[in-house]
Structure 1
Amino acid sequence: MFAVVATVPLLVACGGTDAPPATGRGPGMLANLPSCDRVPLDTEPEVDARVTGLVLPDGARVTSVVEQGALTTVEATVRMTPLDVRAHYEGRADIELLRVEDEVFEAEVLTRAQQRRMYLRAGALCADGTTLTAVVGPDSEDAGLPEFQSG
């Protein structure tokens, strides 16, 4: 008679109550990214971004503003994780949050402010730093803003 032995890897989370949920998603996954000390967030010159409807987290450093017809694209970096960026927008009272999604390493937000819409994608750059790409346009369903990337 043959015996079959199967080995199943055991995953153990160490730490306090901040352990990621059982799905494996959570801020702990971002710790696998390089330290932000090794990935500078301030190498590009900062530019002025006076765009109606643009609402970025405090500390965001804008590096590019490009107008394309009715849409304006803004590139920035911020010392936050994508999950922190999502939480930031969920906690704001001065904007209307139309839609929000995250996949830990990336978050997407659609807001309405100052009679304009803003689509924002936040992507993890390092353990606690994020690149932001915001597209601001008319407050309309067919304004041409990017679509959410999730499937």
Structure 2
Amino acid sequence: MRLRALTAVALLAVLAGCGGAEAPSGGNRDLLGNLPSCDRVPLDQEPEVAADVPGLVLPDGARVTSVVAQGALTSVEATVRMSPLDVRAHYEQRTDIELLRIEDEIFETEVLARAQDRRMYLRAGALCADGTTLTAMVGPDSDDAGLPEFRTG
């Protein structure tokens, strides 16, 4: 079921075209309504785990399911009842972090931010109409820390 939802997201993203630094128009936001209902795509199948990671800043209500330290980097997996566009708006409104870069393509948002002397790269991908998977990588505040790159094009 999850694979079908992700396949649908990928197909719709291709059909919708790529966004960029500009916020999508209301018509593009309506495309999220084409995704399956979150009642059919459970967001809470995996057990929740504690995430005490300096520099990790997730939206309220995020449910962390995995934290893995990999040398200087820590990866975190979570879900949240928000669309990727809502995730973008959430980070744009925060005053406790410094946004270094943010982009969205309707079905996916990427954020690079600085918080607590650390950098966080976050990718938010639509899982259902109002549910999103969050994949974050937190590491040293450095351009060569090994954080993932933004996907463009």
Q: Shorter-chain-normalised TM-score: which range? A: 0.7 to 0.9
Equivalent residue for 1:58? Answer: 60
**CA–CA separation in structure 2 for the residues paired with 1:78 and 1:42:** 10
Unaligned runs of 5+ in 1: 1-19
SS in 2 for 1:134: strand
Match of residue 97, structure 1, among 96, 99, 105: 99
Structure 1 residue 75 and structure 2 residue 77: aligned?
yes
RMSD value, Cα: 1.2
Q: How does 1:1-151 map to 2 (within 5 A)?
A: 21=25, 26-151=28-153
Q: 4+ residue runs of structure 1 moved beyond 4 angstroms? A: none
Q: Percent identity?
A: 81
Q: Say which one has the larger Rg.
A: 1
Number of positions where the alignment pairs a residue of Structure 1 with one of Structure 2 = 130
Aligned-pair CA distance for 1:21: 3.6
Structure 1 distance, partners of 2:34, 2:118, is 37
| TM superposition shift of 1:84 | 0.2
Point out the structure with the larger helix share: 2
TM-score scaled by length of structure 2: 0.83
Segments of 5+ residues of structure 2 without an aligned counterpart are 1-23
- CA deviations 1:36-91 (Å, max 9, x no partner) are 00000001000000000000000000000000000000000000000000000000
SS of 1:87 mapped into structure 2: helix
